[in-house]
Amino acid sequence: MRICIFGSGAIGGYMGVRLHQGGADVSLVARGAHLQAMRENGVKLITDEGEDVVHPKCSADPAELGPQDYVIIALKAHSVTGAIPSILPLLGPDTAIVTAVNGIPYWYFHKHGGEYEGRVVESVDPGGRQWAEFGPQRAIGCVVYPATEVVEPGVIKHVYGDKFSLGEPDGSSSDRVMKLSEALTAGGLRAPVLDKIRDEIWLKLWGNLCFNPISALTHATLDVITSDPETRAVARAMMMEAKEIGDRLGVHFRVDVERRINGAGAVGAHKTSMLQDLERDRPMEIDPLLTVVQEMGRMVGVPTPTIDVVLALVKQRGEIAGCYTRTRQPEPAQPAVAAQ
């Protein structure tokens, strides 16, 4: 079984180390100093238990790796469309694409059923290029729960978690998803195969949607956001808008909003990835985590007043910091009070 991880940074590198340790034939696509360090010294993973160094094949050139059984895309979600030409050489007729990214994936409405079947989600897949060039039929969903960090080139620090939930868009226990789960499990990860992966995507997105931008705007950690009654209320309002959208799309939220907020608070004094990106002058995942929910709200006819406000603020914050570029024109302002 040939597995290539495209975008072997914090999450992709962690998956790569564990898959290699589990005996999979895994190769890592990366770039820059991180790639050079992994090639020269191997990939180092630091955990509470100690350090592991492994030596999988690492490359900048997917064409030299050729077609794979699985391509795990572990890029930041906003980088996927730009990477399409580099990913294509990894695809044979039966290659599966595993979307190990936060937010709504490009294939979301494939095998969804109902009136939205086959819809492209513009905020994550501008112009529907991923849908057209990868094809939705290749997709296996993946929800990333662990937190990891590239602390220096070639070195990945594990912060918490080991679960990568998997699921076919049609909910089936296909051969390909079961084999992938086995490969991840052999490496010591948890990889349950779910029949309703979209429910889990929303559960993760529920937190990212609010905690990430609030942290980028306030520079607060998760424990502070969730214990301050006022920022907690902002988070709750955003989550309730998202829940209404999810409900209209047939999503089942298996925990209630207070429990979800408490779960994030229990992570402690942790900076969200969006805050970390802002502090490091790196592009922020705003469209895949927020704009997408606004877009889906428009799609199903649910107003998103709190999301709209936070989104406007965090986009401007990102732009001023040079960490975000708008792909779409801002919507015209609505008068706050009707004209007398």
Alpha carbons 191 and 187: distance in angstroms, whole number: 10
Give me the least distance between CB of 208 and ligand KPL, in Å please. 5
Q: Active site includes 204?
A: yes
The catalytic residue among 57, 111, 204, 271 is 204
Give the x/- contact pattern for ligand NDP in 37-76, rule: CB under 6 A: -------------------------------------xxx
Cβ-based nearer residue to ligand NDP, 54 or 147: 147
Stretch of residues binding ligand NDP (CB under 6 A), selected from 30-38, 173-181, 311-319, 325-333: 30-38
Cβ(176)–Cβ(192) below 8 Å? no
Stretch of residues binding ligand NDP (CB under 6 A), selected from 4-12, 177-185, 192-200, 262-270: 4-12
Which of 62, 207, 246, 265: binder of ligand KPL (CB under 6 A)? 207
Contact partner, 207, from ligand NDP, ligand KPL, none, Cβ < 5-8 Å per class: ligand KPL
Binders of ligand NDP in range 218-277 (CB under 6 A)? 273
Give the side-chain half-sphere CA count within 13 A for 336: 2
150 interacts with ligand NDP by CB under 6 A:
yes
Beta strands in 120-256 (DSSP E): 139-144, 147-152, 155-160, 164-167
Among the listed residues 58, 285, 94, 290, the one whose alpha carbon sits nearest the alpha carbon of residue 174:
94
Alpha carbons 213 and 289: distance in angstroms, whole number: 9
Which of 208, 221, 291, 304: binder of ligand KPL (CB under 6 A)? 208
Contact partner, 12, from ligand NDP, ligand KPL, none, Cβ < 5-8 Å per class: ligand NDP
Which of 3, 10, 142, 237: binder of ligand NDP (CB under 6 A)? 10
77 interacts with ligand NDP by CB under 6 A:
yes
DSSP labels, 222-266: HHHHHHSHHHHHHHHHHHHHHHHHHHHTT---SS-HHHHHHHHHH
Tokens of 173: 């226990």
Angle at 141 between CA 100 and CA 241, to 5 degrees: 90
Tokens of 322: 């040079």
34 interacts with ligand NDP by CB under 6 A:
yes
Cβ(216)–Cβ(272) below 8 Å? yes
Alpha carbons 278 and 317: distance in angstroms, whole number: 9
Alpha carbons 20 and 25: distance in angstroms, whole number: 7
101 interacts with ligand NDP by CB under 6 A:
yes
- Interface contacts to ligand KPL, rule CB under 6 A: 102, 147, 207-208, 211-212, 264, 267, 270, 272-273
Q: Which residues bind ligand NDP (CB under 6 A)?
A: 7, 9-12, 29-32, 34, 74-77, 79, 83, 86, 101-102, 144, 147-148, 150, 273, 285
